[in-house]
A = this chain, B = another copy of it.
Amino acid sequence: MARVLTPQAEDFPRWYQDVLAKAELAENGPVRGTMVIRPYGYALWERMQSEVDDRIKAAGARNAYFPLFIPESYLKREAQHVEGFSPELAVVTIGGGKELEEPVVVRPTSETIINASFAKWVQSYRDLPMLINQWANVVRWEMRPRLLLRTTEFLWQEGHTAHATEQDARDYAVRILRDVYEDFMVDVLALPVVVGRKTARERFAGATNTMTLELMTGDGKALQMGTSHELGQNFARAFDINFLTPSGEREFAWQTSWGSSTRMVGGLIMAHGDDAGLRVPPRLAPTQVAIIVVKAEATEAAARLSDELSSEGIRVELDDRADVPFGRRAVDWELKGVPLRVEVGPRDLAEDRVTLVRRLGGGKTPTPLAGVLDAVRVALVEDQVALYADAERARDARIVDVKTVDDAVEAAATGWARLPWSELGTEGEARLAERSVTVRCLVRADGSLPETGDEPDVLAYCARAY
């Protein structure tokens, strides 16, 4: 069979580009760093949106929408924030045919403009907590773009909250990290993310604490899949978000922000993909089962089966393109990573059966027509679990415990290095950075989150990152 994709072992970045093109996921836009998300790539994103949105709403936040354009002066109100984002800004200087008096920035993130609204909306402790989320596009001018992973424009959700106490803000930032992001990534994306705390060096510009979910990609690098920040009172001071306490005093609010983006689509591809293409976890898959008409005379039976599975809540697509060679279509469904194929051909039908093909493992099982629904249900559950186990095994096999900076750099050539933060420290971190290795996060030995950046006995996960 002709080679469809560059093998991962030969050239992983090339494999990634091949998958994006062949599975029709995304391509470059005309302006440097921008991307077109094609329908199948977007269908993956829509499923992610739906699952994340449900969890965000369950955590009590409500969606709203804030302007794309931010006055340049707003960005400057929080010193670290403007310093962090200035080099990446896109600036509109002409509007309606005229030079603007004050240039406007295309949002790189919305802390400033949302907090300007919070300053109006938050008056009393009764208004707190204020829990807002927005689905939007943001722009960060990107010098080394990579489709879906790092693009000048990307799609994301960004949550912004205000609380009466530091503890309440902290608890909420952790709740989002665990109940929204980790739950979604583990249970739906089947991705064994490592959840930890960023070092001061890697913190979000303007935050007092950044927590992160780090994914190991198929080539042993790290990808930051989502972050949840405590902002302390930094933005509350900059935008004067204060509230009347029950005892009649005025206090600044405590805040959080948190985000996840279309980068998750890239992470999904990079962690689960293999040499035949994507492997999409059943719970996420826009199409869980492709029902393939092998020859035209099987169309009616295939359509009946498709209706039967659909009516049971399974996401099915009927491929009745009998005029396209069967082999080409089979390769296409493999490329797209659809968990199950049901091949419906006249020879099988004569014996009242079809052939069930699993993307995971590739096993082909002749299945009686009456047993398809049950077989599909079982396979979808099994393969969700198996994909997670696969990714976890691959991850754990590539995490190496080391003691020195040199050993960490060596380990990061093919995987992640893990070492005690007390032995590395900010000085070791700087030396790693010179060699393009970063501390992805700090985690306690028992997997829980450190309360501060200099807790003893925490482990640092170090890797090259996308």
Contacts and interface: CB of A to CB of B under 8 A. Distances in A.
Interface string A24-38: 000101110011111
Interface stretch (A62-70, A299-307, A342-350, A424-432): A62-70
A88 B97 CA distance: 7
A313 interface: no
* Oligomer: number of copies: 2
A87 B46 CA distance: 34
Contact of A113 (B30, B91, B92, B132): B30
Q: How large is the interface on A (under 10, 10 to 19, 20 to 34, 35 or more residues)?
A: 35 or more
A229 to B, nearest CB: 21
B68 A39 contact: no
A385 interface: no
B67 A43 contact: no
Interface stretch (A133-141, A197-205, A400-408): A133-141
Interface in A381-419: none
Contacts of A95: 89-91, 141, 152
A36 B132 CA distance: 12
Contact of A88 (B29, B87, B96): B96
A97 B93 contact: no
Contact of A65 (B36, B93, B106): B36
Contacts of A193: none
Contacts of A5: none
Given A30-B116, A42-B64, 19 more contacts: A30-B71, A30-B74, A34-B67, A36-B64, A36-B65, A41-B64, A46-B63, A68-B153, A87-B97, A88-B96, A89-B96, A90-B94, A90-B96, A91-B94, A93-B94, A95-B152, A96-B142, A136-B137, A137-B137
A142 B96 CA distance: 7
Interface of A: 27, 29-31, 34-39, 41-43, 45-46, 62-71, 74, 86-97, 103-104, 106, 113, 116-117, 132, 136-137, 139, 141-143, 152-153, 155
Contact of A67 (B35, B46, B97, B143): B35
B62 A39 contact: yes
B87 A96 contact: yes
Given A31-B70, A34-B67, A91 B89 contact: no
Most B-side CB within 10 Å, residue of A68, A74, A103: A68
Contacts of A43: 62-63
20 contacts: A27-B117, A29-B66, A30-B70, A30-B74, A34-B67, A39-B132, A42-B62, A42-B63, A42-B64, A45-B65, A68-B106, A68-B139, A87-B97, A90-B94, A90-B96, A91-B93, A91-B94, A92-B106, A93-B93, A97-B141
A266 to B, nearest CB: 14
Contacts of A74: 30
Given A104-B31, A106-B92, A67 B153 contact: yes
Contact of A38 (B30, B64, B87, B94): B64
A148 B46 CA distance: 25
A53 to B, nearest CB: 9
A36 B67 CA distance: 6
A262 B115 CA distance: 23
Contacts of A103: 94
Most B-side CB within 10 Å, residue of A63, A66, A96: A96
A46 B62 CA distance: 11
